[in-house]
Amino acid sequence: MNDFLLRPVIPDDAPALAGIYGYYVENTAVSFEYIPPTADEFRGRITHTLQKYPYIAAVNGERIIGYTYAREFVGRAACNHCVEVTVYVAHDCRRSGAGRALYEEMERLLKGMGIRNIYASIAYADDEDEYLTHDSARFHTRMDYAQVARFHQCGYKFGRWYDLIWVEKFIGAHD
């Protein structure tokens, strides 16, 4: 599809991003939040992230169809060359290439900041169900992430337990 442009997120994008994310909070186990954040809460999250890290939107015409951002990993000085990344694509725009394009641009920006390791956390269950598929895990594998950890039954949502896997990708030399 690739009928979109990438651009930096601004705080005024909060309602659109909250709408994309809200779908996943309310209908899936992809997010372990129970209540979708309001647009004002999302605006605060955007503002906080932009103080240090990139936040990128994929836009089709006037509509934001996906976004990605980076955030601090661990919160200790020795880990300043590592970040956690997140990507969400509007439910009706999945498999459009937006997720890949967003992550590739994020990696380019993070390399320029001296980041070497990228991590992502992914909700997971051995058996897919109506709330969680293996799509995110497969996407990260295609993006050359490798699983480095699995926390068992650590997320409880929709009356069932879900695991959390952590994946890692090196984007810079460790010299």
Task: Write down the pLDDT at residue 3.
Answer: 87
What range defines the domain where residue 130 resides?
A: 5-170
pLDDT in tens, the chain (175 residues): 568 999 999 999 999 999 999 999 999 999 999 999 999 999 999 999 999 999 999 999 999 999 999 999 988 999 999 999 999 999 998 989 999 999 999 999 999 999 999 999 999 999 999 999 999 999 999 999 999 999 999 999 999 999 999 999 999 999 8
Tokens of 76: 């200790």
**Domain assignment of residue 71, yes or no:** yes
**Domain assignment of residue 36, yes or no:** yes
Please report how the helices 14-27 and 39-50 are oriented relative to each other, as an axis angle in degrees rounded to 10. Answer: 110
Q: How many domains does the chain have?
A: 1
**Domain assignment of residue 68, yes or no:** yes
**Domain assignment of residue 175, yes or no:** no
**CATH number (domain holding residue 53):** 3.40.630.30
